[in-house]
Chains A and B, each alone.
Chain A
Amino acid sequence: MAERELENIVGRNNVLNGPGVLEEYSRDFSFVPPIKPRCIVKPANVDEVQKIVQWANDTLTPIVPVSSGSPHFRGDTVPAVDGSVIVDLSGMKKIIRVDPRNKVAMVEPGVTFNELQSELAKEGLSAYMPLAPRSSKSVIGSMLEREPITIPSHHWDSTDPLLCAEVVFGTGDKFRTGEASGPDTVEEQWEMDRVQLNPFGHSHIDFQRLIAGAQGTIGIVTWATLKCSYLSKLNRALLVPSQNIEPLIELTYQLVKFRLGGSLFILNKLNLACLLGRSPREIQELRDTLPPWILFTSFEGYGVLPEEKVAYEEGDFRDMARLCRLKPETAIPGASAEDVLRLLSRPSPEPYWKTRFKGGCHDIFFLTTLDKTPDFIIAMSDLAKLHEYPVEDTGVYIQPIVQGTSCHCEFNLYYDPNNPAEVDAARQIVSAGSEEIAKMGGFFSRPYGAWKDTAYRHAAGTLTMQKKIKKIFDPNEILNPGKLCF
């Protein structure tokens, strides 16, 4: 029996198949149809992962790697086919190494941001984080999903902050990417000051890029190194309110061009309210008080002259804002910059901020350029009206990425999961919205359930090539079938 064979690999206690647990892994907050896995297996190390993958090949069993804890939102960790086995790596929680000199950390898949931040802080470092991730979010999971970080000036490449990784490909082969590769163990490498820092691929190929964004369809990562930033000795933050988004976009362009400042993003009032508010009522009140659009930026003080850094950055920012006829504030009615700043260095406090307003939330996000975001906002607003969904219940989050050459544009559709009409409206908007966004040039670089097909319909060449690559790294297609274009 499968479970017996798996128990031989990971130990009895690490194979779960109770009804409750199976139910938990069969669904998430996305609209993908629920499918129960066969069982859940919890490996403790790469050797076990390798054996599981080899077993999966031998038995042609689909496996679904998961590293974050619930709740999940995107459908990528829900089995797409029957008979799947969930490979839950969330128990692999070692923070293997923190290197303060080279600002790099090495972690296992189960490490969350909370856990990591505490360790990094001891060494004067901080993780590059997405915006208020849920507390159960895996650091590696976040990086592999290419979730945008909030500091665009440090986001050189779409894979940042991911550096190197140890991965088991779908063939069962173990592999270390980038500088981590070699005839020696990582411990031996450390003795030579090789710290798994440089991500550039072996010669003509960048394996790291094949696993990032792959939703576990190419390989299972068992540890990764990541860039870290300095922990600021001091910092300042400002909010810039605006009735319209256009001036904030203009200001953002100035900032990203010169890589000025630390965290930088734009939220609409609902999203800021959700981040700050603790209850539906609080959120509603905040929403009613806050200006329609808010830009947030921080100035991080570290290095040899931290105070001077913060001072000049803030000064220059204020000058830029003035030119855009905007007025930065440390506090606006309903929110203070410090409150937001405090949220950025840790995951979202419970309950997860996207669930506080109505209990349910479906994101739709894509890449575009900053100048196009107002068009998408109008489009989504029109769609909401069309589907009789309250426009004011749509959150907007704009995150410049890759040093401002594009941005992550996210719409959050809040709904009451117990209200079928709301659920239905949200589902329809996601579906219709995906089509509209794609038609308008929005790029679904991270194709999740709801818009996966739309994404690939506009990427025929990529689809064909990815299938060929998949045949190389996972010829039996045992890794997360049904995801991406597989």
Chain B
Amino acid sequence: MAWQDYVHDMQRCTRCSYCKWIPYRYMRNIDFMEGCPSIARYNWHAYAASGKFNMAYSLLQGRIEIDDTFLDVLYKCCMDGSCDVSCKVQQDIEPLQLMQELRIKCVEDGQLVPAHMVVIEGLRKEDNMMQSPKDERAKWAEGLDVKDLTSESAEVVYHAGCRYSFDEELWPVARAGLTLLRDAGVDIGIMGVEEACCGGRAYELGYAGELTKYAEHQIETFRTAGVKTLVTPCSDCYAAFKVLYDKIGKKLGIEVFHITQYIDKLIKEGKIKFTKEVPLTVTYHDPCHLGRLGEPWVHWQGKEYKVMGQMIVHDPPKKYRRGANGVYETPRDILKSIPGLKLVEMYRIKEYAWCCGAGGGVIDAYPDFAVWTGAERLREANAVGAEAIVSACPWCKRNFLDAARETGDKIEVYDIIELVQKAV
């Protein structure tokens, strides 16, 4: 649907402001009731999802133009979807999809955020979002005894993703993930320098063409490689492969797992066994793209009609994605099974988790906002008495590390892979 097609939703946004908060039912602490980092930081209503509905409606009516303020408001947003979950507790409208379409429109109209332009240029040249040379993509796996799928075949492809591939500080995590699976007997390989971006993050920036391009590329790549399954340690990539490709009608043709799902499977099959204690109190941060944004896409074609006089319903009934079917329990199950590990929950979790701050292009264009958002999350982790915050996405880990350094927070930052590695 193009952005104009959301006029029904624009009209029906009531300005209830629930998009600013986590759903009230789940509020447990007065210091951690807000859900949307954008409005929490920038205060103007425009920065909330409701504000975007308003902006879109005004744009549609020719009352405003896309100017610097418009771009600032639209892009100072992690596209994390907290607003979407909260809104849809009470409403049948699509704030996140509308914001996505607005971004696509901006890009189509050439209304671009300079920092994003640099990133996309890099993507187009080097097939990655990290402005790094393509031929260095496999460096993270150097020395690892694992199949090269450009010349060998395997059942499973391990897709590291751009962040893991080029963020040297995070390489040990990517390596650990791959090693765990390999050592568990999984027939696994990597695409090495031929691994390309999933296109998901570019899509979030509004570059819809990039998603299509990379989706087609990946489909072809994996078909050629003959793999049956994809495992990725990156939640962004997981959501791209699992959800976004399906959204744009591209079928990857292979099974997609986030690494936590695969590890869980291996634990249940007895192929990963925990033998060591990890005495640590941790709290789990739900990556947006594994959680609410990782909820499978729902295709719907139909029409709206009225019943009981004026109640708006659909034919066929329309199943809205309200965040419930993301991956929440699996990572927790893993953590709970690690000996000696104590899991404490933060106040904003699962569908209504606070974002790490890295998504939506924020880490590229507004790094201070990204750090601020990450620091807020660390504050919450500290508030529940956690010694460490653990997530399942390299973007989360990166942003938490940056936030901790910026603020001097001593909390440890892990990816779940690292804790699993410690326990085996």
Check whether chain A touches chain B (CB < 8 angstroms): no
Interface residues of B (CB under 8 A from A): none
